[in-house]
């Protein structure tokens, strides 16, 4: 059983011409000589690399659309709320707006949260950069943890290194932290995630010592995404600049 839709996917704007397709390969059941195309195979013949990225790249988010035989929507969990505390057993007081969702994480230095929610890691992608102000404002007001993903400093055009080869100044990272703190009121935090390249450049030391960040995350692997952490460059000069940073 193939749970994906090979050769046809809205994320890369490809589609089959035929109503019926071979379930394993995704090829149209009538692959016609002279077809003007639309499926993955046709586009890959001429513009193969573009099929690596959801389109229009940098303006959308995309998720996997596997159709699993069993889904959480097939289940109904009928349970009881036992051991609730903090609300009087009075129907006029025990109303849903009266619930307390506050929590915290950490051992020595606890971080308080209004709601136990962390965002996904919003890192070096254009979609995260373009919409960061919205994410940061909403997360700060809601009192949740906003995760600044990996490689933000690494692709920052204004990045400066000190004489020790470590990060001295990153305008993009400073902007992201500043926009979160504009509405921060003591709940939640901005968490900076780092990959191997980030640790080599000294991102941890930079955000902790110079920008006052209190929470960091060392990344061990890629998450379950349609495509993870990919960026595009628009010039040879930009590609060379990023290549030099490793």
d(CA 70, CA 57): 31
Examine residue 169 and state whether it is found in any structural domain, yes or no: yes
- For residue 60, is it within any domain? no
- Statement to judge: residues 44 and 125 lie in one domain: no
pTM greater than 0.75 (yes/no): no
Domain total in the chain: 2
Residue 95 belongs to some domain of the structure: no
8-state DSSP, 206: I
Inside any domain, residue 92? no
Are residues 129 and 224 located together in one domain of the fold? yes
Q: Is residue 173 part of a domain?
A: yes
- Report pLDDT for 84: 57
Residues 18 and 136 in one domain: no
Task: State whether 123 and 233 are in the same domain.
Answer: yes
- The 8 Å CB, 24+ separation contacts for 38-46 are 38/14, 39/7, 39/8, 39/14, 39/15, 40/6, 40/7, 40/8, 40/9, 40/12, 40/14, 41/7, 42/14, 43/12, 43/14
Residue 33: its pLDDT value, please?
85
Asked whether residue 226 falls in the same domain as residue 125, the answer is yes
pLDDT at residue 80, as a whole number = 65
Residue 237 dihedral angles phi and psi, to the nearest 5°: -60, -40
Q: Is 238 found in the same domain as 117?
A: yes
**Does one domain contain both 231 and 114?**
yes
Regarding whether 113 and 30 lie in a shared domain, the answer is no
Residue 201 has what pLDDT?
93
pLDDT beneath 50, residues of the chain: none
Identify the domain containing residue 112 by its residue range.
102-244
Same domain flag for 164 and 224 = yes
Q: Which residue, chain included where needed, has tokens 């890629």? A: 222
Say whether both 233 and 168 belong to one domain: yes
In a domain, 57, yes or no: no
Is 78 contained in some domain? no
Q: Are residues 121 and 203 in the same domain?
A: yes
- pLDDT at position 91, please? 77
For residue 216 the two structure tokens come to 């960091």
Whether 61 maps to a domain, the answer reads no
Is residue 29 domain-shared with residue 127, that is, in the same domain? no
């Amino acid at each position: 059983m193939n749970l994906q839709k090979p050769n046809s996917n809205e994320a890369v704007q490809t589609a089959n011409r035929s109503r019926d397709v071979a379930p394993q390969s995704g090829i149209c059941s009538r692959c016609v000589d002279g077809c003007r195309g639309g499926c993955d195979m046709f586009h890959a013949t001429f513009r193969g690399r573009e099929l690596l990225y959801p389109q229009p790249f940098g303006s959308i988010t995309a998720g996997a659309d596997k159709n699993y035989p069993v889904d959480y929507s097939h289940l109904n969990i009928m349970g009881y709320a036992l051991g609730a505390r903090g609300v009087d057993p009075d129907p006029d007081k025990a109303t849903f707006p009266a619930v307390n969702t506050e929590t915290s994480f950490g051992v020595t230095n606890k971080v308080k949260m209004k709601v136990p929610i962390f965002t996904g890691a919003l890192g070096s992608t254009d979609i995260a950069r373009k919409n960061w102000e919205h994410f940061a404002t909403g997360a700060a007001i809601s009192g949740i943890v906003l995760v600044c993903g990996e490689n933000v400093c690494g692709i920052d055009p204004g990045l400066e290194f000190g004489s020790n080869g470590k990060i001295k100044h990153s305008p993009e990272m400073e902007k992201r932290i500043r926009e979160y703190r504009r509405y921060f009121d003591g709940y939640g935090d901005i968490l900076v995630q780092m990959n191997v390249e980030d640790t080599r450049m000294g991102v941890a030391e930079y955000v902790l010592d110079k920008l006052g960040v209190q929470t960091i995350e060392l990344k061990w692997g890629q998450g379950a995404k349609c495509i993870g952490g990919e960026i595009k460059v628009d010039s040879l000069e930009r590609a060379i600049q990023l290549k030099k940073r490793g």
